[in-house]
Structure 1
Amino acid sequence: MADTKDALSASEKTLHVLTAALEHSRFTDIVAASGLAKATVHRILGTLVASDFIAGDGERGYRAGPGLMSLAGRALASVDITQIARPIVDRLVAEVDCTIHVGMATDSEIVYLIRRDASKPYQMKSRVGHGMPLHCTGMGKAVMASWPASRVAELASRVGLPARTPDTITDLDALNAELERVRARGFATDLGENEIGTVCVSAGIRDHTGAVTHGLSISSIALEHPGTSIEQYADAAMDAAAEISRLLGAP
């Protein structure tokens, strides 16, 4: 039986070589990663170099070329996370029947980009375009958990950790302990810390560089989800956030 690589079309072989060349600089490694014959890889690399998608040569190594960088820049500039996330959010609302938020982190707030309500008679007070402090929201803590301790301390020094409810974490040591817990579990919660009677479970969304720049939350009211019972949706939040991250090009 012929090797499956032999059955690939010319365009598929080119994509294999391009992907390998972006992950490896040496010719021998590109050949191994692509699974194609040396002569085929050499020919395709020549075409990619001539078209500026790949730069370099067998002696100096290969890297992304100016043509590919320009194309990548245009692609990234056109990314709209609300369009990417909305179908996933709609599916998640139908699955858990809770309010779903997607927010973008600034240097001190989480700004709501999407709010999709459940079928319940109540509604969250959140509004698209409004920002809330990072330290007291589930999405904010999911983002901050990816930060080094020095950045968390700088935020606390610059804007403080103001109390929005009696349950808000207002002490830096306590916040760092909470963020360590978020890192260990992979999700964050807000159990009445931002708004009395409101709870949520959240996960971070990564961009194409791997940085956690956004968050997704599943929100409800404490009367319906008392104590920590909102955590039953932690896996759903993490799976949805991971799917959005993948569509954003996260490694």
Structure 2
Amino acid sequence: MAERHAPAAGASQKTLRVLEAALLNERFTDIVEEAGLPKSTVHRILASLVAEGFVSGDAESGYRPGARFMTLAGRALSGLDISELAQPIVDRLVAEVDCTVHVGVVSGDEMVYIIRTDSSKPYRMRSRVGLAIPMHSTGMGKAAMASWTDEAVVAYAERTGLPARTDATLTDIDALRAVLAEVRRNGYSLDLGENEVGTVCVAAPIRDHTGRVSHGLSISSIALEHPGRSIEELAPYAIEAATEISRLLGAAV
């Protein structure tokens, strides 16, 4: 039987290939390689995209997203509702780990809960949607702070004074720096009774379309059920869910 080949890409598919390649690469040669099309075809499509404002630049200076593309992308992203996007992922995660899952948004020096979905367990967390808590005492907050520069962390410490919420809260700048360095290495953070006595969580950062950590996701439990650092076993679940939400927000992760 003769070998069957995939049909050749149509005009629309070729245009989309070149557009995506041009958004990811500046050099013409890299765009050609990424698109997997002949140079003449890529050159012709790029000329059309530049003329329509979806791409700017040229083969000599390099290509960049055009004003028309940025305007459309901005309008689309401004209409995203993270609560609506994240809730199905949160619901699935709760079913998988049977723990309470939160999503929070960075708001100044605080993390504000915007989603809380409870497990099937008889106990309930004291958290609630709309509650604002200091960044340094929460798993989600530390997941976000790990993306900050050292100058930003120091400025936060000076502004807030690193107030203690429990005996376990990080109130020393050097201790906080050390924990944030660990968070950067691991890709997740822990809250071992630092925000509320007897409550633990593992959290991961959520990035927006600019790559900035704008939100966080945490899996929370009680220390009696997850003693010591055992909540850390759920880190892969938190990272996977946070990454999925980040992609829905347009992050390149």
**Alignment partners' CA distance in 1, 2:70 and 2:176:** 40
- Asked if 1:52 corresponds to 2:49, the answer is no
1: CA distance, partners of 2:4 / 2:71: 38
What residue identity is the alignment partner of 2:173? L
Give the corresponding residue for 1:105.
Answer: 106
Shift of 1:236: 0.6
1:94 aligns with 2:95: yes
Query: How big is the shift at 1:42?
Result: 2.1
Partners in 2 of 1:90 and 1:129 — Cα distance? 19
User: 2:159 maps to what in 1?
Assistant: 158
Letter of the structure 1 residue corresponding to residue 210 of structure 2: T
Tell me how far apart the structure 1 counterparts of residues 64 and 250 of structure 2 sit (CA, whole Å). 19
Larger deviation, residues 156-165 vs 55-64:
55-64
CA distance in 2, matches of 1:17, 1:193: 50
Structure 1 residues 92-150: Cα deviation after superposition (integer angstroms, max 9, x where no partner): 00000000000011221000010000011111111111110011100001111111111
Report what 2:65 is aligned to.
64
Identical amino acids, percent of aligned pairs: 63
| Paired position in structure 2 for 1:147 | 148
Give the alignment of 1:195-210 within 5 angstroms.
Answer: 195-210=196-211
SS in 2 for 1:79: coil
Give the structure 2 partner of residue 14 of structure 1: 15
Which amino acid counterpart does residue 125 of structure 2 have in structure 1? M
Corresponding pairs, count: 250
TM-score, with structure 1 as normaliser: 0.94
Number of the residue aligned with 1:41? 42
Matches of 1:60 and 1:138, distance apart in 2: 44
Amino acid of the structure 1 residue aligned with 2:190: T
Output the amino acid matched with 1:163.
Answer: A
Computed over aligned residues only, the root mean square deviation of the Cα atoms, in angstroms, reads: 1.6
SS for the counterpart of 2:40 is: helix
Q: What secondary structure, in the 3-state scheme, does the structure 2 residue paired with 1:7 have? A: coil
Q: Distance in 2 between matches of 1:195 and 1:166?
A: 10
Tell me the TM-score normalized by structure 2. Answer: 0.94
Tell me how far apart the structure 2 counterparts of residues 136 and 219 of structure 1 sit (CA, whole Å): 14
Structure 1 stretches of 4+ moved >6 Å: none
Runs of 5+ in structure 2 lacking a partner? none
1:229 is aligned to 230
1:126 aligns with 2:104: no
